[in-house]
Amino acid sequence: MSSDEVDLLKWPEPLPPSWQCARAAPAEGWDTAFTVTQDGTPAGTVSVAFAASTPIAAAYPAGARDRLIGPDAQAGSPAIQLVSEQVMDEDRACRRLVLAVDEGDVAGIARGEAAGYRYVLDVDVPGRSLSLLTAEPDWVLEDSRHLDDVPTQ
């Protein structure tokens, strides 16, 4: 694997303590938001909503605790990763985080993959075509490895 490739089966290394996130007032349509800083310098805002309450719920099997992650243009991969870790730490029942980017947005997909997300599929919602990426906590990924191990006794 080259130095610019991302291992999609492994969560990125933890960020140094210089990266911080703090709750912020959410924009309309979002449940919460986090502002992210690196060494005190703003590094973007990431909004979070329950996926089932967003337009992607009509095109994707969103679970009750799944969250949609919405980074602003300034939020790079580290900001997405940090907020994703915060959301998963706060809600241990959350099975999946979803990041939606415009279909064909290769840079957006790469930003998500560098933050620990995996491309899943493209969907159409009213007025937009989106590429969806997901991230799951380790306990979900581990359980899915045993789907073929059915006890027979």
Predicted pLDDT of residue 83 = 98
Predicted pLDDT of residue 10 = 76
Residue 140 in this model has a pLDDT that exceeds 90: no
Per-residue pLDDT band for 69 (boundaries 50, 70, 90) equals very high
Per-residue pLDDT band for 16 (boundaries 50, 70, 90) equals very high
Per-residue pLDDT band for 62 (boundaries 50, 70, 90) equals confident
Residue 76 in this model has a pLDDT that exceeds 70: yes
pLDDT in tens, 81-127: 999 999 999 998 898 999 999 999 999 999 999 999 999 999 999 99
Write down all domains in the chain, each with its CATH number in brackets: 19-139 (3.40.630.30)
Q: Are the CB atoms for 100 and 68 separated by under 8 Å?
A: yes
Q: How far is CA 109 from CA 41, 61, 64, 113, 132, in A?
A: 25, 20, 25, 6, 9
Q: Are the CB atoms for 41 and 76 separated by under 8 Å?
A: no
- Which residues does residue 45 pair with via DSSP β-bridges, in sequence order? 35
Residue 149 in this model has a pLDDT that exceeds 70: no
Q: How many CA atoms lie within 13 A of 96 on its CB side?
A: 20
pLDDT in tens, 37-46: 999 999 999 9
Predicted pLDDT of residue 137 = 75
Predicted pLDDT of residue 61 = 85
What mean pLDDT value characterizes the chain? 89
